[in-house]
Structures are given as C-alpha cells and as structure tokens.
Structure 1
C-alpha cells in the first residue's frame, strides 16, 4: 500500500487542473485524501473527492467524504425479476417499440 500511496503523491503535481476526483471505492478515496493532504492540497478548498460504496466511517473524516451509496440488494432483485420475466417471454418495458 505504501508504494501506491507514494505513486499518488508523486502524481499530484498533474492534478492542479482537476476540480474533482470520483474514486471507485471509499477506501481508495480516503487514501487519496490523505495523499492530497500530505502534499498541501486542501480538500474541498482546492479539490473535491467523491467516494463510492458508502462506508459509515466516511462521515467521521475531516472533512467528511462525499460518497455514493449503491443499493446492491435492490439491483440484484431487479435483475432477477428481469431475467425471470425474460425467460417467460416478457420484455422489459423499455425494450418494446412503444415509446409514445
């Protein structure tokens, strides 16, 4: 992990034109926020950081991490229903030719 964080710190010199990072996991976003802090780049004053997957600890950071919550259980239920209906010969409403 130390090598990855060091790489992130070295690359921050190219980030001065970036307004926001959307990072694929909250844990990686926390690491990026730490690397930015270590190089003197202030979050959110100089750059914003958004994580993905909503870990509860995100709200306890300083500053708190903005994060996107994905409802994987609902996505799984919807996928199962769509697959079940497709196997029964029913199309998804958006797959029909009736867009009126």
Structure 2
C-alpha cells in the first residue's frame, strides 16, 4: 500500500505474479516479493535519518530493518540473530526511530 507503483497496475500485477510463483506457502510473505521492491521500501524508511548517522550506523540500521521484516517483528528472534540482548535491541529501535506500523 505504501509503494508509489510508478509502473501503475502492470507493475503491481507483475509483483503479485512474482510473489505467487516464488512463494512456498499459500500466504505471500515479504521475502516472496521482488528484491527491488524491498530496497525501495527500505530507502523510504532511511531517508531523513541517514544524514545524521555514520556509515556503520546506516548499515546497522539496514540490517536491523531487514531482520525485523524477515522475522515479522519477532524481537527475540532479531536479538538472537544479532547476538545482542533484547534491552540492547530496544535501545537500537529507539535510536533509529523504528516502530512497527
């Protein structure tokens, strides 16, 4: 819903067709969508804040967003994959102003 769909309805149809073909289950998940769509989604999320962050922080933020999307915001799973405590994860979420929509 947040995508601008510059290719209009044809682009949306192609994305849905791709998701159906590459999905392993009857439910379409974020990882079933084309990679370019996810990159566009991340770039919108990162725009205003990147100016104030170091390169390492920008990359950490990208990894954090990717893991949150992959795990459908399962914070325990994200903390485990990042090998950090949940309290540290909460600080990072606050630092990067990440909230579940």
TM-score for both structures, normalised by structure 1:
0.26
Larger radius of gyration: 1
Which of the pair has the greater relative contact order for Cα pairs under 8 Å at 6+ separation? 1
Greater helix percent: which structure?
Answer: 2
